[in-house]
Structure 1
């Protein structure tokens, strides 16, 4: 079947590694993704974690655009409650001016970290995610170079002017966010790799309301594709146990190699969590991954899947992306 594949990269940091290496790998991966035929390359926003380096996706995109030629680039996503809509629009306009026709403005409502990080980002003010719908409205107006007279600063324009504006994508994990995207005529990316349970409700909410031909629904999932089933399952242990640590609120010391867990004896609860978290992943050899991706695409009714791959060994991470691209 015909399918577009895209990448969401979180700039993972290996145990014993550093952010400098993580970002160089992200840049190199974007270049290889373009070579392998991936459609989009998005980067995420996370705070106060030592396992993921990408705390400023808008800055990282500036470098990625300079190191690539044609692949679409985007924020996956810029977490709007940490920004003013005016500033966010300025960011996307600058990126569009630098890389015309290649930028996706992906936005989300999630905190991207523990509560202390949210407080630090707002200088101690409680995070008010309930403002998100009105923030989206303001962002869309600023993106269209409109002023907002009802604000005291309403004559301010979010510049620079560009001949086109980046398409806005809403990222989420619920039927409410999907319905909000549809209501606004925005494309929607469902984060199955974060919350697999509400996917069908999100599809129904989005498809039931959207009337915009330009908008689309897609979904993101963890994928690990290696030459043999045994190798893929073993390497996936890094993600299995890393997710357990994240659920415990551990900031992490970086992604650990799978053999670090060889002597681990997870209890009944941990075993159940590992099994449940596997619903967020597609793991296996090429033939198995192809079947699973086709089923995933059919389930969500989409011809585009965004994949997230997080393992310790960078060669195996790149190999997984290369093999996955070759399947379609």
Structure 2
């Protein structure tokens, strides 16, 4: 199984925001050492729980620090950016680290309405024709003249570089179809809603048309995972994430607590039911249980690669999640 890493630069209780980015670097270096396939940074705005606001900048830094792992974004929230700028950034990255750069993009805002309007400088955010914007970016990446007349009289420099690998993020059959028809990778965010189906991935495979970017369909599925040597330890480390998701579902954003703080957090019976329901998007267990679940899902749904996001409180515990999974699955 190919294993990859998705990092959101989470800020856990008692830590400074800058620490989260240095910890992302540390995680990427470990992934490079262990044989993980790729390392992506997410894009978040307007909240202090996650500080990965400029994933393309982090990707540039991390690509310069690592040796073989692919590096990219999971993803750039393209509603905020010009296709020309996206193409220029990722062609520059690919010129600096040829054969190792991924251009992962999503259609979500990556933040609340205040952040979205600030990013659009107070104008009405342009959320129309997002797939057309992606198509224009792909044309510019491939040194083509775009169909969009706004971009037809310019180029995206540097030209004639090794193509970055484009991926469309999504969790629906519609995004799967669009990714397939454009001949790019499809990344399914299982940790968003837990609604992965074979039908969605089959839509992608059946609609796939080979392109300059990819000759055959490629699918990765991202999972939220908390694991340890024992189930008891995994449950202990998982509870802060369970509580964060519980409060987020209610419209509250709380800090990521320490496991000790979370241990005695007051819960109603309804809270417990909601946490149990959320476990379909948060895999918790000892490493053998988790590895078996991931392998079973790969066989059931037929994807190529598993991407892991994990947020234990202590950095050493988080790094150990990736060590344990590498031991079992690589």
- Root mean square deviation of aligned Cα: 1.5
Return closer, same or farther for 1:270/1:138 CA change in 2, 3 Å cut-off.
Answer: same
- Whole-angstrom CA distance in 1 between matches of 2:2 and 2:192: 21
Q: Deviations over 1:26-80 (max 9, x none)?
A: 1111111111110101110001111111000001011101111111001000011
- Whole-angstrom CA distance in 2 between matches of 1:105 and 1:321: 23
- Whole-angstrom CA distance in 1 between matches of 2:137 and 2:151: 14
Return closer, same or farther for 1:145/1:272 CA change in 2, 3 Å cut-off.
Answer: same
1:323 aligns with 2:324: yes
| CA deviation after TM superposition for structure 1 residue 198, in Å | 4.6
Pairing 1:190-201 to 2, within 5 Å after superposition: 190-201=188-199
Give the aligned partner of residue 244 of structure 1. 246
Of 98, 101, 105 in structure 1, the residue corresponding to residue 99 of structure 2 is 101
Query: Does structure 1 conserve the Cα–Cα contact (< 8 Å) formed by 2:136 and 2:148?
Result: no
- Length-normalised TM-score, structure 1: 0.95
The more displaced of 127-136 and 97-106 is: 127-136
| CA deviation after TM superposition for structure 1 residue 148, in Å | 3.0
User: What secondary structure is seen at the aligned counterpart in 1 of 2:48?
Assistant: coil
User: What secondary structure is seen at the aligned counterpart in 2 of 1:180?
Assistant: helix
Give the aligned partner of residue 41 of structure 1. 39
User: What secondary structure is seen at the aligned counterpart in 2 of 1:28?
Assistant: helix
Give the aligned partner of residue 301 of structure 1. 302
The more displaced of 119-128 and 137-146 is: 119-128
| CA deviation after TM superposition for structure 1 residue 167, in Å | 1.4
Give the aligned partner of residue 183 of structure 2. 185
Q: Deviations over 1:209-263 (max 9, x none)?
A: 224343311210011221111000111001100112222333433x211221223
Give the aligned partner of residue 263 of structure 2. 262
Give the number of aligned pairs. Answer: 325
- Whole-angstrom CA distance in 1 between matches of 2:287 and 2:179: 34
The more displaced of 59-68 and 11-20 is: 11-20
Give the aligned partner of residue 219 of structure 1. 221
| CA deviation after TM superposition for structure 1 residue 177, in Å | 0.6
- Whole-angstrom CA distance in 2 between matches of 1:61 and 1:11: 12
| CA deviation after TM superposition for structure 1 residue 163, in Å | 2.8
Q: Gapped runs of 5+ residues in structure 1?
A: none
Give the aligned partner of residue 280 of structure 1. 281
Give the aligned partner of residue 29 of structure 2. 31
Query: Does structure 2 conserve the Cα–Cα contact (< 8 Å) formed by 1:192 and 1:199?
Result: no
Q: Deviations over 1:57-105 (max 9, x none)?
A: 0010111011111110010000111101111001101100111110011
Give the aligned partner of residue 89 of structure 1. 87
Query: Does structure 2 conserve the Cα–Cα contact (< 8 Å) formed by 1:181 and 1:188?
Result: yes
- Whole-angstrom CA distance in 1 between matches of 2:192 and 2:98: 31
Q: Deviations over 1:179-228 (max 9, x none)?
A: 11111111100000012125334213212322434331121001122111
Query: Does structure 2 conserve the Cα–Cα contact (< 8 Å) formed by 1:96 and 1:162?
Result: no
Of 50, 53, 56 in structure 1, the residue corresponding to residue 51 of structure 2 is 53
Q: Gapped runs of 5+ residues in structure 2?
A: none
- Whole-angstrom CA distance in 2 between matches of 1:32 and 1:122: 36
The more displaced of 256-265 and 83-92 is: 256-265
